[in-house]
Amino acid sequence: MYAVSSHEAREVKTERPEGTNRRIDYIGSPGIIDAFPQAFYVDRLYKNARIDPHFHDIDQYQVVVDGSCKMGKKAADPITFQYADAYTPYGPIIETSGEGFAFFTLRPIASGGFFAMPGNKHNMPGRAGRNIAGRFDTTRPLPEEGQAVLEKLMDDQPDGVAAFGLRLGQDASLAGPPSNAGGQYYLICEGDVLVGDKNLDRRSVIHVMPEEVAPVFHAGKYGADILCLQFARPSDRPGSDPVERANRDPNAYMRRPDEHG
């Protein structure tokens, strides 16, 4: 298990004509091909923010945590999550509030880049796969003091893809669901928790490997809302096996069309 609090993450800013893009790296780093997981926060908190349609060569989740947008035709506001199979185009992502949007990207292994669409259909090994969206409502009252609830947020998937909400009242404790597929991420959406001897505040991230013992969360006096997202068991579906993906050419990263260097 690897846990990163919000103040341990690394911030990178990029100035663009339309506004300042901010990225906060929690685990790994975008822009490279390697064999390690990636977890990072991206914000486009300005009017008319947009990310053009594209796909990646790995499975991934995105979690909208600020602002509001449309992902393709689907409205997304906090806390909306989207799972996409590898080689499944999605987008555009377009802000809808006049204030932009911000989201976490969570991956079991580094992406091979930004495959813009149209223009990269020849790099898709077959038909597009799943694109599953769901929402974790953190505006509701938390459970009573000492009480906790585990909610299922996605219909059952045969390969283990899953999403759960952990809701802890004041001073409550709760273990995460078993990591019985392709590994998990936990995102502390609200409140703060103690995991082992580490304090994790709002927007901290935990990565759990397949079959690793699930973390146990101990909430403080304000309780906590925690999102758990699980990846698929590796299969012959292209892009689903991190071991196979680790053999990619590290120099073959596909950059965004508007990215240089």
Query: Which letter does DSSP use for residue 258 in this model?
Result: T
Residue 93 is assigned to a structural domain of this protein: yes
164 within 8 A of 228, measured Cβ to Cβ: yes
Determine the structural domain holding residue 197 and report its residue range. Answer: 140-230
> Do 127 and 144 reside in the same domain of the chain?
no
The region, left, alpha or beta by phi > 0 then psi within -120 to 50, assigned to residue 182 is alpha
> Tens place of pLDDT for every residue, the chain, 261 residues?
999 999 999 999 888 777 788 999 999 988 999 999 999 999 999 999 999 999 999 999 999 999 999 999 999 999 999 999 999 999 999 999 999 999 999 999 999 999 999 999 999 999 999 999 999 999 999 999 999 999 999 999 999 999 999 999 999 999 999 999 999 999 999 999 999 999 999 999 999 999 999 999 999 999 999 999 999 999 999 999 999 999 999 999 999 887 644
CA dist 159 to 85, 149, 241, Å?
A: 12, 24, 12
170 within 8 A of 146, measured Cβ to Cβ: yes
What local confidence, expressed as pLDDT, does residue 62 receive?
98
> Do 39 and 108 reside in the same domain of the chain?
yes
Q: How far apart, in whole angstroms, are the C-alpha atoms of residue 188 and residue 115?
A: 30
How many independent structural domains does the chain possess? 2
Supply 77's token pair. Answer: 């506001």
Q: How far apart, in whole angstroms, are the C-alpha atoms of residue 110 and residue 38?
A: 6
CATH code for the domain of 59: 2.60.120.10
What local confidence, expressed as pLDDT, does residue 15 receive?
80
**What radius of gyration, in Å, describes the C-alpha atoms of the chain?**
18
> Do 90 and 210 reside in the same domain of the chain?
no
